[in-house]
Amino acid sequence: MRVDILTASSINGIITPGRGACSHDLVPILKPVRELWEAKYEIRRRHDAVLVGSNTVLSNDPTMSSHAAPGYEVVRATIDSAGRIPPRFRFFDGSVRTLVGVTDTTPASYRKLLEERGVEAVSCGAERPELSLFLAGLEERGVRSAVCEGGGILNRALLDQGFVGRIHLLLLEVILDAGSVNLFEGPGAPFPLRLETLERIGESVLLTYSV
């Protein structure tokens, strides 16, 4: 299964104001226009599911359901083999279909929590989670395409392992602390991109690249 990346970054490639900060902390700084949110939600609805990393869930406590529309089924997914997401988080509120990647070492108590909340546990490895197994598990459950709104670590892993088809980049009119989270965290080989579309939205720019 191919995955598209949907992300917003500063012009120096940073996606949060600081380490450990929430990406939504940028909202009062930038005061984004309504069209920016609409463009983001429209891209989400092109896909069967929204994929985020567990660090993103822990930092933002998101519902990942703000793009809901009549006739569209919201599906959210993450990998959390260590069972770090607290039961009180909105990811487990039962409002939409939710899938979580687990391994053979995932605590039994956490698996029980997932079952009680109606969350689908997707086996994706023995000791360590494997992206390929997780994506295959999503596909087996009818998820044919996903858009990733995770952090730099998940973005880099998807890119390095050859799963990324397109990158939808909202380039925001701000410069952030270079020591914060990069759009693609860590070392990696160069990846040539091809620009498909460019759209100005307020003071921001929406760029779509194919990998």
Contact 151, 53 (CB under 8 A): yes
Mean of the per-residue pLDDT values for the chain? 93
| 28 pLDDT more than 80 | no
How wide is the angle at C-alpha 94 spanned by C-alphas 92 and 95, nearest 5°?
Answer: 115
Strand, helix or coil for residue 14: strand
Which pLDDT tens digit goes with each residue over 119-169?
999 999 999 999 999 999 999 999 999 999 989 999 999 999 999 999 999
Greater pLDDT, 22 or 121? 121
Average pLDDT over residues 99-113: 97
pLDDT for position 33? 81
pLDDT for position 207? 98
Place of tokens 């939205």: 201
Contact 7, 53 (CB under 8 A): no
Which pLDDT tens digit goes with each residue over 181-203?
899 999 988 999 999 999 999 99
Rounded percentage of the chain residues whose pLDDT exceeds 70: 97
First to last CA, the chain: 15
Residue 36 gets which letter from DSSP?
H
Rounded percentage of the chain residues whose pLDDT exceeds 90: 82
Dmax (CA) of the chain: 49
pTM, full prediction: 0.92
